[in-house]
Amino acid sequence: MKIIPILVIYVIAFIAYIAYSRRRQAKAQEDRFSGLAKGAEVETIGGLIAIVDEVDKENNRIVLDAEGVFLTFDLSRSIMKVITPAPSLEKTETSEETVIEEDSAIESSDEK
């Protein structure tokens, strides 16, 4: 009779382990696709390193640009990792260059 509570504890622990494992796998896949957008550099399962040209989540497809060759892959099974995330529009700011003239023609004529 003492074996039944121990067996129940093992079953509950096994179910909890399976639930934890699935959550961990879902988080890993979410992290893998977090930087996936047009312009990101990715590596496929086959070892191809390319730039993302288009992501179609509705049809589960991704189009990769490998030096001018456009390849279509299954989104969920083909990407192993994102090497470089897509560049963000917020990070790219235009900087104004200031031109400083050391010897201006006006200043040199006024000094004479």
Q: Where are the alpha helices (DSSP H) in the chain?
A: 3-32, 75-78, 105-111
- The answer as to whether 26 is a domain residue is yes
Domain presence at residue 7: yes
How many structural domains compose the chain?
1
Residue 111 domain-assigned? no
Query: From the centroid of its chain, how far is CA 90?
Result: 16
Rounded distance between C-alpha atoms, residue 55 and residue 88, angstroms: 16
User: What digits encode the pLDDT tens for the residues 53-109?
Assistant: 988 888 888 899 988 899 999 888 888 888 887 776 444 444 445 455 455 455 544
Q: Is residue 107 a part of any domain in this protein?
A: no
pLDDT of amino acid 77: 84
Do the domain assignments include residue 106? no
What's the rounded Cα separation, in Å, for the pair 24 and 44? 21
Looking at residue 81, which CATH number applies to its domain?
A: 2.30.30
In a domain, 38, yes or no: yes
Question: Residue 63 belongs to what domain range?
Answer: 3-89
| Residue 14 pLDDT | 95
Instruction: Write out pLDDT tens, residues 3-54.
Output: 888 999 999 999 999 999 999 988 887 777 777 888 888 888 888 999 999 8
